Amino acid sequence: MLRNNGRHNFRSPFNIQPSLTLDFAGTQSLDSKITFTRSTIATYFNSSGVLVNSAIDTPRFSFNPATLESLGLLREPQSTNLILNSQDFTNASWNGGVPCVRTANTTTSPDGTSNGSTITSTNATYGGFIRFYVVYTAIPYTASIYVKKGNWSYFGVRIAGSISGNLVPFVNLDTLAVNNNGVSGANISIVAAKDGWYRISLTYTPTAGASVTDFGMVDSNGNQSTNLGAGQYTYIYGSQLETLGFSTSYIKTAASSVTRSADLAIMTGSNFSSWYNQSQGTIYCEGNPMALNGPTGNPMTFIGISDTTINNEIRLSSNLTNGGIFESATSGVSQFALGSAVTPNTFTKMAGAYSLNNTSFSKAGGAVTTDTSCTIPTVSQMEIGSLLTGRDFSGNIKKIVYYPQPLTSNQLQALTT
């Protein structure tokens, strides 16, 4: 039994010993019984808040770059940055006819080196932003960029038709207020990094066809066609455009697009059966999904336990499928579906207990829901942040705990409070 695995910074609220504890946020390590793969490098923020690379097949234990809080295991789906020369804004692939002045290597960027750039407005209409052309399809895209205020406070992002008149979704870098400017279906957000840097992201579903991706300074109403005058400037770094409904970790590109492969963390064989009880148990997880649904539109999976098929499985998810987020199937037939959807970009504690004709679930210390008519599937593996294909998690998982017996309703509430 893996009784001492990852026990750092975890204490059970009652006298029941878990058979598995994976405290990713506390230990910043991966137990040797977990097989981890990712066929490409990937970025994350380290304990100093600096954006760094993780080698192939190496897990990422990330930190909040603004607060340095340990966030646990970063798990992401495959994604491609469609923008070329993603941090070389002087390259000819940028501009597209707008007159903004672009100057490379003017400030320290989120990766800790002097490769941040400056964009400076000219005395002309449309003189404050940079432009990249893309052939879009009619699916959700997310554009993102790191921004640091120079002497101008308003920064906007545009994906194709995400514009109303000349008004685009924008952010006030002084107050951090966001404004979608009435653009239907647009969602702009801002997240703090280190030393005055922020990552601004815009999600939008464009009309299919060739169009623009714009980043840059706007006026106080979000108008990108206004003449700001000469000499207004902002620092930028690390642009990205993904075919996802949320942003993922930065993927650097040069002359071509770059794909980061998905993270896969899995326990199989005796590494799984040594701690798992087929007939009864309790599964606990704390994580923060970036959205309710993943790349294929399915709910993101915190923990997926299965027999390598979707027919026999138990999972904790971000969103509703059969009516709940603690769900199970036996021989392809749904057995229980308890709980309600989580809040994206927020760490949530959840726990589900199972046994024959008796399952229960609590989230964030809330009321316990139950199902008293269900069978329990026979399973053989656990995936962290996925369940087979199409149910990928994107975000951080702080902790996973497993008890080889069902906890009571009061204990479930105590565990998730």
Ordered DSSP codes for 231-288: T-EEEEEEEEEESSSS--S----SSS-EEEPPPEEEEEHHHHHTT--SS-EEEEEEEE
- 């991966």: which residue's tokens? 30
**What is the pLDDT, as a whole number, of residue 1?**
36
Mean pLDDT of the chain: 95
> Where residue 2 falls among pLDDT bands split at 50, 70, 90?
very low
Percent of the chain with pLDDT over 90: 92
Distance of CA 55 to the CA centre of its chain: 19
Domains and CATH numbers, the chain: 20-38+47-64+264-416 (2.60.120.200), 80-259 (2.60.120.260)
List, for residues 103-119, the tens digit of each pLDDT value. Answer: 999 999 999 999 999 99
- 């316990």: which residue's tokens? 368
Q: In whole angstroms, how far apart are CA 340 and each of 245, 258, 310, 368?
A: 21, 36, 21, 11
> Where residue 6 falls among pLDDT bands split at 50, 70, 90?
very low
Q: What is the mean pLDDT of residues 259-277?
A: 98
List, for residues 36-50, the tens digit of each pLDDT value. Answer: 999 999 999 999 999
pLDDT reading at 338 higher than 50:
yes
**What is the pLDDT, as a whole number, of residue 252?**
98
Please tell me the distance from the alpha carbon of residue 153 to that of residue 132, in angstroms, as a whole number: 22
pLDDT reading at 5 higher than 90:
no
List, for residues 222-244, the tens digit of each pLDDT value. Answer: 999 999 999 999 999 999 999 99
Phi first, then psi, for residue 350 (nearest 5°) are -145, 150
Phi first, then psi, for residue 167 (nearest 5°) are -95, 130
List, for residues 139-193, the tens digit of each pLDDT value. Answer: 999 999 999 999 999 999 999 999 999 999 999 999 999 999 999 999 999 999 9
The answer to which of 94-103, 120-129, 350-359 has the lowest mean pLDDT is 94-103
pLDDT reading at 97 higher than 90:
no
**What is the pLDDT, as a whole number, of residue 217?**
97
Please tell me the distance from the alpha carbon of residue 250 to that of residue 67, in angstroms, as a whole number: 19
**What is the pLDDT, as a whole number, of residue 12?**
61
**What is the pLDDT, as a whole number, of residue 96?**
73
* Nearby residues of 334 by Cβ (< 8 Å), 6 or more positions away: 322, 327, 328
Q: Coil, strand, or helix at residue 416?
A: helix
List, for residues 49-90, the tens digit of each pLDDT value. Answer: 999 999 999 999 999 999 999 999 999 999 999 999 999 999
**What is the pLDDT, as a whole number, of residue 13?**
64
List, for residues 352-392, the tens digit of each pLDDT value. Answer: 999 999 999 999 999 999 999 999 999 999 999 999 877 89
